[in-house]
């Protein structure tokens, strides 16, 4: 079967038909390009808006979690009788962790009645920082300095 490209007249007619079709398609593309660009801008704007809303939601969740943590910390501190400064030192993310830390903190503040083996109860050394002699009465010391100053 002969091809349309074998006959010069048929080939020229096919080329003219394809050229006309190409020109029509080019004109249609030119008509659609502004609409395609506008659609692209709307899609990008929508994506940006969605991203912005997602970021705001994530920030709100973080703030809510921080507020929840502070509320629990304050409740535990109040229940344990801690001051605000002491409460700020508590470590933990759950109520149980904060309560355990508060109990440990309070046990460190309260001296044990019986320190137990290996941990002797510390007693102050009365001779520490002195020559071992009993310090004179401050009033007597002042009177001696005053006397020495006036008589010299």
Give the integer Cα–Cα distance in Å for 107 and 86: 13
Q: Which pTM value belongs to this model?
A: 0.44
Cβ–Cβ contacts within 10 Å for residue 72, how many?
19
> Which range (15-29, 40-54, 62-76) has the least confidence?
40-54
What are 62-73's pLDDT values in tens digits? 999 999 999 999
| Angle of helix 8-80 versus helix 95-109 axis, rounded to 10 | 40
Q: Which of 75, 65, 81 lies closest to 96 in space, CA to CA?
A: 75
């Amino acid at each position: 079967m002969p091809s349309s490209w074998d006959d010069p007249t048929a080939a020229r007619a096919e080329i003219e038909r394809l050229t006309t079709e190409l020109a029509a398609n080019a004109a249609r593309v030119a008509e659609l390009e502004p609409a395609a660009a506008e659609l692209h801008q709307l899609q990008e704007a929508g994506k940006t808006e969605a991203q912005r809303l997602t970021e705001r939601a994530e920030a709100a969740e973080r703030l809510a979690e921080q507020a929840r943590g502070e509320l629990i910390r304050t409740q535990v501190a109040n229940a344990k009788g801690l001051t605000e400064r002491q409460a700020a030192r508590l470590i933990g993310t759950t109520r149980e962790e904060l309560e355990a830390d508060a109990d440990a903190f309070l046990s460190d503040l309260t001296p044990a009645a019986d320190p137990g083996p290996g941990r002797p109860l510390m007693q102050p050394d009365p001779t520490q920082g002195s020559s071992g002699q009993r310090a004179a009465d401050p009033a007597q010391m002042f009177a001696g300095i005053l006397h020495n100053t006036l008589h010299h």
